[in-house]
Amino acid sequence: MALIMKYIESINRYMDSHSDSRTKDWPMMSSPFPTLAVCLTYVYLVKVLGPRLMENRKPLHLQQLLVSYNALQVVFSAWLFYECLMGGWWGSYSFRCQPVDYTDSPTSRRMVHACWWYYFSKFTEFMDTIFFVLRKKTSQVTTLHVIHHGCMPMSVWFGVKFTPGGHSTFFGLLNTFVHIVMYTYYMFSAMGPQYQKYLWWKKYLTTLQMVQFILIMVHAFQLLFIDCNYPKAFVWWIGMHAVMFFFLFNEFYKAAYRNRLMKKNALLANGHAKPNGYCKSINAHDDLFMPQPTAAVTTPKANGNATLCNGHANGLKNGYNKQQPIANGNATTIGNGSAHKTNGVLLANGYGNGNGYATKLVDDVNQELTHRKTQK
């Protein structure tokens, strides 16, 4: 144990000798290990302990708390975005190459403070996942979600420790803007279903995240091809983080798209006749007048498109067998009360489409019934 503590102390001394003197004595900045410990505790809480504690409990209803939390996050993110702008990105910073200003100028100090508060905001975002666990929304606690939230405090810690300002703060500028949009959506979503009609732009949130990471990649990696007094190690650090998150979000986007496509196909299958419902005889009109089964056979014969999904028949579902019903056209009209009896046979005559010749077949059926009674 003593050997481990000695090793930790040597790491801390090395980092302090190379860090920004303005932040080394700030909260959580003396060593990376407190931040690492908090991140690991977060992962344990949301992946192991939290689900275990909630396993036999009812999900908590946190609507008012969620609305308040997300509103505070919107305000916090907006303030951070403003501070990043006023700390340099509004005028004095260059998008091409921006070294860190290590002076004690008011603008430089403002950016340094903004960097630390941005680091602190990454801990407050842990509550996103904790609320999911308390509400038993375990499907939301994805690997992407946990990696994204669990890695960010550690990543930002290194930036605040060594380069609090300059080129890397473009990451924070974009990220705080995205969080303004994201937490605004969460806030309105938590207010209730009456606000859903205003959230049509939900589908663009993941795209916005991915565009953010592309811009960060381009902005960071450009320094690999030009001379700029900015540490190349942090160029790779920020750029590779953006690459990792881009591919993680891309996989999430594709998975979500596949799920939406599957749901859409399922709805289509449930709302319309399935193509595998066709009988051997495609012509429903001809099949109606084929020799009918004897009275001993009670299974209705399906002509045309026989598969009925949510009551919609594209063709003619002919179950005629003495007293069997005939459903012409759209069979849902039975539920609307439009069925009536003709010669003892129940006819549901609605709005048939061309495949089943629905409205015309009523007269044909009557003629056939009369003809058969005459033969008997």
Vertex 272: Cα angle to 253 and 302 (nearest 5):
145
Comparison of pLDDT for 251 and 227, the residue scoring more: 227
Backbone dihedral region for residue 251 (phi beyond 0: left; psi -120 to 50: alpha; all else: beta): alpha
Whether 315 has a pLDDT exceeding 70, the answer reads no
Mean pLDDT over each residue of the chain, to the nearest integer: 77
- Binned at pLDDT 50, 70 and 90, residue 266 comes out as confident
- Count of Cβ atoms closer than 10 Å to residue 267 Cβ: 11
Answer with the residue of higher pLDDT: 198 or 329: 198
Contact 365, 318 (CB under 8 A): no
DSSP-derived secondary structure letter, 275: G
Q: Return the pLDDT at 24.
A: 86
DSSP 91-124: TT--SS------S--HHHHHHHHHHHHHHHHHHH
Which pLDDT does position 56 carry in this prediction?
A: 93
Residue 297: band (very low, low, confident or very high) from pLDDT cuts 50, 70, 90: very low
What's the pLDDT band for 302 if we cut at 50, 70, 90?
very low
pLDDT tens-digit series, residues 234-246 = 999 899 989 988 8
Mean pLDDT of 165-186: 95
Catalytic residues: 148
Query: What pLDDT is attached to residue 373?
Result: 55
pLDDT for residue 91:
85
User: Which residues 6+ apart lie within 8 Å of 30 measured at CB?
Assistant: 12, 16, 24
Q: Is residue 257 very low, low, confident or very high in pLDDT (cuts 50, 70, 90)?
A: low
